[in-house]
Structure 1
Amino acid sequence: MSGSGAHLASLMLAGFRTLVDATMEELTRRGHPDFRPVHEYALLAIEAGAASASDLGRSLSVSKQAAAKTIATLERRGYLSVELDPEDGRRKRLDVTDRGREVMRMGAAIFDELRAEWAKTIGVERLDSLEADLERLLGASPLRFDTPGWMT
Protein backbone atom coordinates (compact mmCIF):
# COMPACT_ATOMS: atom_id res chain seq x y z
CA MET A 1 0.00 0.00 0.00
CA SER A 2 1.62 3.22 -1.16
CA GLY A 3 0.27 6.73 -0.82
CA SER A 4 1.43 10.19 -1.67
CA GLY A 5 3.76 12.32 0.40
CA ALA A 6 0.95 14.82 0.91
CA HIS A 7 -1.31 12.06 2.25
CA LEU A 8 1.40 10.96 4.69
CA ALA A 9 1.90 14.55 5.88
CA SER A 10 -1.88 14.94 6.29
CA LEU A 11 -2.12 11.73 8.32
CA MET A 12 0.74 12.78 10.59
CA LEU A 13 -0.78 16.22 11.13
CA ALA A 14 -4.20 14.67 11.75
CA GLY A 15 -2.67 12.34 14.34
CA PHE A 16 -1.04 15.29 16.09
CA ARG A 17 -4.26 17.31 15.97
CA THR A 18 -6.38 14.40 17.21
CA LEU A 19 -4.15 13.83 20.23
CA VAL A 20 -3.87 17.54 21.06
CA ASP A 21 -7.62 18.18 20.70
CA ALA A 22 -8.46 15.19 22.90
CA THR A 23 -5.93 16.36 25.49
CA MET A 24 -7.40 19.88 25.54
CA GLU A 25 -10.92 18.45 25.96
CA GLU A 26 -9.77 16.32 28.87
CA LEU A 27 -7.87 19.21 30.48
CA THR A 28 -11.12 21.18 30.32
CA ARG A 29 -12.94 18.34 32.11
CA ARG A 30 -10.18 18.25 34.73
CA GLY A 31 -10.43 21.94 35.59
CA HIS A 32 -8.27 23.75 33.03
CA PRO A 33 -10.76 25.09 30.45
CA ASP A 34 -8.57 28.10 29.70
CA PHE A 35 -5.41 26.18 28.73
CA ARG A 36 -4.42 26.04 25.06
CA PRO A 37 -1.69 24.22 23.12
CA VAL A 38 0.31 27.44 22.67
CA HIS A 39 0.39 27.77 26.45
CA GLU A 40 2.13 24.39 26.72
CA TYR A 41 4.76 25.43 24.18
CA ALA A 42 5.28 28.72 26.02
CA LEU A 43 5.69 27.05 29.42
CA LEU A 44 8.12 24.51 27.94
CA ALA A 45 10.15 27.29 26.33
CA ILE A 46 10.22 29.25 29.60
CA GLU A 47 11.37 26.18 31.51
CA ALA A 48 14.07 25.73 28.84
CA GLY A 49 15.36 29.25 29.44
CA ALA A 50 13.19 31.80 27.61
CA ALA A 51 13.50 34.60 30.15
CA SER A 52 11.66 37.50 28.49
CA ALA A 53 8.96 38.30 25.95
CA SER A 54 11.69 38.71 23.33
CA ASP A 55 13.20 35.32 24.19
CA LEU A 56 9.79 33.67 24.17
CA GLY A 57 8.89 35.30 20.86
CA ARG A 58 12.08 33.96 19.29
CA SER A 59 11.47 30.50 20.78
CA LEU A 60 7.89 30.35 19.49
CA SER A 61 8.58 32.20 16.21
CA VAL A 62 6.00 34.83 17.09
CA SER A 63 6.31 38.58 17.60
CA LYS A 64 7.44 40.04 20.90
CA GLN A 65 3.93 41.50 21.24
CA ALA A 66 2.30 38.08 20.76
CA ALA A 67 4.70 36.57 23.29
CA ALA A 68 3.94 39.37 25.77
CA LYS A 69 0.22 38.71 25.35
CA THR A 70 0.78 34.99 26.00
CA ILE A 71 2.85 35.82 29.09
CA ALA A 72 0.10 38.13 30.41
CA THR A 73 -2.54 35.46 29.80
CA LEU A 74 -0.50 32.77 31.55
CA GLU A 75 0.18 35.08 34.49
CA ARG A 76 -3.48 36.13 34.79
CA ARG A 77 -4.58 32.48 34.78
CA GLY A 78 -2.01 31.47 37.39
CA TYR A 79 0.26 29.34 35.21
CA LEU A 80 3.19 31.75 35.29
CA SER A 81 4.64 34.27 37.73
CA VAL A 82 6.26 37.43 36.45
CA GLU A 83 8.53 39.40 38.77
CA LEU A 84 11.15 42.09 38.35
CA ASP A 85 14.63 40.65 38.02
CA PRO A 86 16.46 41.60 41.25
CA GLU A 87 19.72 42.04 39.30
CA ASP A 88 18.21 44.16 36.50
CA GLY A 89 15.02 46.06 37.31
CA ARG A 90 14.34 46.60 33.61
CA ARG A 91 13.86 42.89 33.05
CA LYS A 92 11.09 40.63 34.25
CA ARG A 93 11.76 37.12 35.49
CA LEU A 94 9.41 34.41 34.26
CA ASP A 95 8.73 31.34 36.40
CA VAL A 96 6.29 28.51 35.81
CA THR A 97 4.03 28.25 38.87
CA ASP A 98 2.91 25.11 40.67
CA ARG A 99 -0.38 25.41 38.76
CA GLY A 100 1.59 25.60 35.50
CA ARG A 101 3.64 22.53 36.38
CA GLU A 102 0.44 20.73 37.42
CA VAL A 103 -1.28 21.33 34.08
CA MET A 104 1.87 20.26 32.23
CA ARG A 105 2.05 17.00 34.23
CA MET A 106 -1.67 16.46 33.72
CA GLY A 107 -1.35 17.03 29.98
CA ALA A 108 1.54 14.56 29.77
CA ALA A 109 -0.50 11.96 31.67
CA ILE A 110 -3.46 12.47 29.32
CA PHE A 111 -1.20 12.00 26.29
CA ASP A 112 -0.05 8.71 27.88
CA GLU A 113 -3.69 7.66 28.36
CA LEU A 114 -4.44 8.45 24.72
CA ARG A 115 -1.37 6.53 23.59
CA ALA A 116 -2.63 3.53 25.57
CA GLU A 117 -6.00 3.83 23.79
CA TRP A 118 -4.25 3.86 20.41
CA ALA A 119 -2.24 0.80 21.51
CA LYS A 120 -5.50 -1.02 22.27
CA THR A 121 -6.73 -0.19 18.77
CA ILE A 122 -3.69 -1.20 16.70
CA GLY A 123 -1.68 -3.21 19.22
CA VAL A 124 1.23 -2.27 21.43
CA GLU A 125 3.83 -3.74 19.08
CA ARG A 126 2.54 -1.86 16.04
CA LEU A 127 2.37 1.42 17.95
CA ASP A 128 5.86 0.89 19.39
CA SER A 129 7.10 0.13 15.86
CA LEU A 130 5.41 3.25 14.47
CA GLU A 131 6.96 5.37 17.20
CA ALA A 132 10.41 3.84 16.60
CA ASP A 133 10.09 4.47 12.86
CA LEU A 134 9.11 8.10 13.44
CA GLU A 135 12.05 8.57 15.82
CA ARG A 136 14.34 7.11 13.18
CA LEU A 137 12.98 9.56 10.60
CA LEU A 138 12.66 12.63 12.85
CA GLY A 139 15.19 12.10 15.61
CA ALA A 140 14.49 11.24 19.22
CA SER A 141 13.52 14.82 20.20
CA PRO A 142 11.35 16.19 17.39
CA LEU A 143 9.60 18.85 19.53
CA ARG A 144 10.32 22.39 18.43
CA PHE A 145 8.98 25.30 20.43
CA ASP A 146 8.37 27.30 17.25
CA THR A 147 5.49 25.08 16.13
CA PRO A 148 2.83 27.67 17.14
CA GLY A 149 4.46 30.37 15.01
CA TRP A 150 5.09 27.98 12.15
CA MET A 151 1.42 26.96 12.07
CA THR A 152 0.14 30.52 11.64
Structure 2
Amino acid sequence: MRLILSSLAVLALAACSSETEAPAPAEPPPPVELGGVNLDQPLRALGTEPFWGVDVTANELLYSGVDRPERRATHDGPEVMGTVATWQGTTPDGGAMTLTLMATECSDGMSDRTYPLTARLQVGDETLNGCAASTSAIETVGESGRVIDAPADPAS
Protein backbone atom coordinates (compact mmCIF):
# COMPACT_ATOMS: atom_id res chain seq x y z
CA MET A 1 0.00 0.00 0.00
CA ARG A 2 2.89 2.36 0.84
CA LEU A 3 4.36 1.68 -2.57
CA ILE A 4 1.10 2.65 -4.25
CA LEU A 5 0.76 5.86 -2.18
CA SER A 6 4.41 6.75 -2.83
CA SER A 7 3.93 6.21 -6.57
CA LEU A 8 0.80 8.36 -6.60
CA ALA A 9 2.59 11.14 -4.72
CA VAL A 10 5.46 11.10 -7.21
CA LEU A 11 3.04 11.21 -10.14
CA ALA A 12 1.09 14.06 -8.57
CA LEU A 13 4.27 16.09 -8.04
CA ALA A 14 5.42 15.36 -11.57
CA ALA A 15 2.10 16.51 -12.96
CA CYS A 16 2.26 19.76 -11.00
CA SER A 17 5.78 20.57 -12.04
CA SER A 18 5.57 19.65 -15.71
CA GLU A 19 5.80 22.49 -18.13
CA THR A 20 2.60 23.25 -19.92
CA GLU A 21 2.83 24.55 -23.43
CA ALA A 22 1.43 28.02 -23.92
CA PRO A 23 -1.12 28.16 -26.70
CA ALA A 24 0.27 29.49 -29.94
CA PRO A 25 -0.64 33.13 -30.52
CA ALA A 26 -3.67 33.41 -32.75
CA GLU A 27 -2.94 34.79 -36.17
CA PRO A 28 -5.03 37.81 -37.06
CA PRO A 29 -7.69 37.02 -39.63
CA PRO A 30 -6.81 38.02 -43.17
CA PRO A 31 -8.18 41.40 -44.23
CA VAL A 32 -11.56 41.39 -45.93
CA GLU A 33 -11.07 42.41 -49.55
CA LEU A 34 -13.42 43.35 -52.35
CA GLY A 35 -12.13 44.03 -55.84
CA GLY A 36 -8.58 44.15 -54.47
CA VAL A 37 -9.52 46.81 -51.88
CA ASN A 38 -8.93 46.09 -48.19
CA LEU A 39 -12.27 46.86 -46.50
CA ASP A 40 -10.57 47.17 -43.09
CA GLN A 41 -9.02 50.53 -44.07
CA PRO A 42 -10.80 53.89 -44.49
CA LEU A 43 -12.80 53.99 -47.72
CA ARG A 44 -14.47 56.72 -49.73
CA ALA A 45 -17.44 56.45 -52.07
CA LEU A 46 -18.32 59.42 -54.26
CA GLY A 47 -20.58 60.44 -57.06
CA THR A 48 -21.53 63.26 -59.38
CA GLU A 49 -24.83 64.78 -60.47
CA PRO A 50 -25.41 65.51 -57.64
CA PHE A 51 -21.95 65.66 -56.03
CA TRP A 52 -21.86 63.49 -52.92
CA GLY A 53 -19.41 61.50 -50.84
CA VAL A 54 -19.34 58.99 -48.01
CA ASP A 55 -16.30 58.33 -45.85
CA VAL A 56 -16.30 54.86 -44.30
CA THR A 57 -14.41 54.34 -41.05
CA ALA A 58 -14.29 51.36 -38.70
CA ASN A 59 -17.68 52.22 -37.17
CA GLU A 60 -19.15 55.19 -39.02
CA LEU A 61 -20.46 56.38 -42.38
CA LEU A 62 -20.07 60.13 -42.92
CA TYR A 63 -22.23 61.44 -45.77
CA SER A 64 -21.87 64.90 -47.31
CA GLY A 65 -22.86 66.58 -50.52
CA VAL A 66 -23.26 69.92 -52.25
CA ASP A 67 -26.26 71.72 -50.72
CA ARG A 68 -26.89 68.73 -48.44
CA PRO A 69 -26.54 68.48 -44.69
CA GLU A 70 -23.77 66.27 -43.36
CA ARG A 71 -25.13 63.04 -41.87
CA ARG A 72 -23.39 60.46 -39.72
CA ALA A 73 -24.47 56.86 -39.25
CA THR A 74 -22.94 54.19 -37.05
CA HIS A 75 -22.46 50.69 -38.44
CA ASP A 76 -21.19 47.29 -37.31
CA GLY A 77 -18.99 46.61 -40.32
CA PRO A 78 -19.73 45.30 -43.77
CA GLU A 79 -21.67 42.23 -44.69
CA VAL A 80 -19.76 40.67 -47.58
CA MET A 81 -21.46 38.26 -49.95
CA GLY A 82 -19.41 37.27 -52.98
CA THR A 83 -18.55 40.44 -54.89
CA VAL A 84 -20.79 42.77 -52.86
CA ALA A 85 -20.21 44.47 -49.48
CA THR A 86 -23.01 46.30 -47.65
CA TRP A 87 -22.87 48.62 -44.63
CA GLN A 88 -26.16 49.23 -42.81
CA GLY A 89 -25.95 52.48 -40.83
CA THR A 90 -28.23 54.25 -38.39
CA THR A 91 -28.21 58.03 -37.91
CA PRO A 92 -28.64 59.58 -34.44
CA ASP A 93 -32.28 60.35 -35.28
CA GLY A 94 -32.88 56.69 -36.18
CA GLY A 95 -32.70 57.14 -39.96
CA ALA A 96 -31.23 54.47 -42.20
CA MET A 97 -28.19 54.80 -44.44
CA THR A 98 -27.05 51.90 -46.61
CA LEU A 99 -23.83 51.83 -48.62
CA THR A 100 -23.33 48.99 -51.10
CA LEU A 101 -20.02 48.44 -52.88
CA MET A 102 -19.65 46.08 -55.83
CA ALA A 103 -16.42 44.65 -57.21
CA THR A 104 -16.82 46.17 -60.67
CA GLU A 105 -14.69 48.94 -62.18
CA CYS A 106 -16.30 52.34 -62.24
CA SER A 107 -15.81 55.75 -63.86
CA ASP A 108 -17.15 58.83 -62.09
CA GLY A 109 -18.09 60.41 -65.44
CA MET A 110 -16.26 63.66 -64.66
CA SER A 111 -12.59 62.66 -64.60
CA ASP A 112 -10.49 60.10 -66.38
CA ARG A 113 -10.17 58.03 -63.20
CA THR A 114 -11.07 54.35 -63.03
CA TYR A 115 -12.11 53.14 -59.58
CA PRO A 116 -12.01 49.50 -58.47
CA LEU A 117 -15.50 49.55 -56.93
CA THR A 118 -18.98 50.70 -57.91
CA ALA A 119 -21.02 52.33 -55.13
CA ARG A 120 -24.71 52.76 -54.36
CA LEU A 121 -25.86 54.85 -51.40
CA GLN A 122 -29.37 54.82 -50.01
CA VAL A 123 -30.07 57.84 -47.77
CA GLY A 124 -33.69 58.16 -46.76
CA ASP A 125 -35.71 57.81 -49.95
CA GLU A 126 -32.84 58.87 -52.23
CA THR A 127 -30.54 56.47 -54.10
CA LEU A 128 -27.18 57.80 -55.29
CA ASN A 129 -24.76 56.00 -57.61
CA GLY A 130 -21.00 56.42 -57.84
CA CYS A 131 -17.59 54.85 -57.37
CA ALA A 132 -15.35 53.88 -54.45
CA ALA A 133 -11.80 53.06 -53.41
CA SER A 134 -9.59 53.33 -50.35
CA THR A 135 -9.27 56.89 -49.08
CA SER A 136 -5.48 56.71 -49.42
CA ALA A 137 -5.72 55.70 -53.09
CA ILE A 138 -8.16 58.52 -53.89
CA GLU A 139 -5.98 61.09 -52.12
CA THR A 140 -2.82 60.11 -54.01
CA VAL A 141 -4.08 59.67 -57.58
CA GLY A 142 -4.20 62.44 -60.14
CA GLU A 143 -7.15 63.36 -62.35
CA SER A 144 -6.67 60.31 -64.54
CA GLY A 145 -5.70 56.69 -64.32
CA ARG A 146 -6.51 53.78 -62.05
CA VAL A 147 -7.36 54.58 -58.45
CA ILE A 148 -5.35 51.97 -56.54
CA ASP A 149 -3.14 51.90 -53.49
CA ALA A 150 0.56 51.98 -54.28
CA PRO A 151 2.27 48.68 -53.51
CA ALA A 152 4.03 48.57 -50.15
CA ASP A 153 7.67 49.61 -50.31
CA PRO A 154 9.69 46.51 -49.35
CA ALA A 155 12.50 48.77 -48.05
CA SER A 156 10.27 50.25 -45.33
TM-score, normalised relative to structure 2: 0.23
* Greater relative contact order, per chain length (Cα 8 Å cut-off, separation 6+): 1
Q: Which has the higher helix share?
A: 1
Q: Which has the larger radius of gyration?
A: 2
